[in-house]
Copies of this chain bind each other. A is one copy, B any other.
Amino acid sequence: MKELKEKILAEGKNMGGGILNVNSFLNHQVDCELMVHIGQELAERFASDNANKILTAEISGIAPALEVGVALGVPVVFARKIWSVTMPKNCHVRMVPSHTKGTMVQLIVAPDFLNKGDRVLIIDDFLATGRTIEALAHIVGESDADLVGFGAVIEKAFEGGRARLAAFNVPIESVVIIESMEGDKIVFR
């Protein structure tokens, strides 16, 4: 997707250690028009998979997941990281490491919103190590819903996420794939 590649080259900051700072349009400020286009692009790639639900993880997954949901006309569930009094006690929970925060975080999903027969498409901002998406996929499995695919806005191919997710045997689509981030460069596949 040319529009996203150009945005990454113009505004993305390679901070070293494989960290791509896209706070100006994805992780802190959101370019709404670009996000709509990203949502449409991912929706097209999964158009034939008949997803009836999107699952993502707060926080930065919400914006792209919402625009995929708008494009496909299906609801979005975002896994919460902190339990609140409005959540039931029997939630699905997985722990995953946070790349940019250096801690473990929880992903919590109320069982009410993932049911047997649901066809779930998992969307996230980044596909890096794949651990967050893998945890979401395990939650889908635990809920007896069917997993139909993984979609990411930006894939960092050098962090091995695609290999980690291969065992789920569903399509994996990334809007753009970054091959390497040596030095201060950002090289697309």
Name A residues whose Cβ lies closer than 8 Å to a Cβ of B: 13, 15, 19, 21, 23-25, 27-33, 35-36, 58-59, 62-63, 66-67, 69-70, 73-78, 80, 82, 84-87, 100-102, 109-110, 112-113
CB-nearest residue of chain B relative to A79? Answer: B28
A81 to chain B, nearest CB (A): 8
Pick from B24, B27, B86, B101: contact of A21, CB under 8 Å: B86
Asked whether A30 lies within 8 Å of B76 as measured between CB atoms, the reply is yes
- Among B62, B70, B100, contact of A59 (Cβ-Cβ < 8 Å): B62
Docked-complex contact B82 and A29, CB < 8 angstroms: no
Option from B24, B58, B84, B113 in Cβ contact (under 8 Å) with A58: B58
Q: How far is the CA of A27 from the CA of B58 in the complex (A)?
A: 11
Contact A28 B110, CB 8 Å, known A59-B58, A100-B86: yes
User: Which of these, B23, B32, B87, B102, contacts A74 with CB under 8 Å?
Assistant: B32
Q: Give chain B residues whose Cβ lies under 8 Å from the Cβ of A21.
A: 86
Contacts of A101 in B (CB 8 A): 82, 84-85
A62: chain B residues at CB < 8 Å are 30, 59, 62-63, 66
Determine if A23 and B110 form an interchain contact, defined as CB atoms under 8 angstroms apart: yes
Do A32 and B100 contact each other (CB < 8 Å), given the known contacts A63-B66, A66-B66? no
Alpha-carbon gap, A139 to B113, bound state (A): 35
8 residue pairs bridging A and B, Cβ less than 8 Å apart? A15-B86, A23-B86, A23-B87, A23-B112, A28-B109, A59-B80, A62-B63, A66-B66
Residue of B nearest to A17 (CB): B85
Please name all residues of chain B whose beta carbon is closer than 8 Å to the beta carbon of A27 when the two chains form the complex.
86
Q: Across the interface, do B113 and A73 meet the contact criterion of CB distance under 8 Å?
A: no
Smallest CB separation, A125 vs chain B (Å): 12
Residues of B within 8 A of A110 (CB): 23, 28
Q: Are A100 and B85 in contact (CB under 8 A)?
A: yes
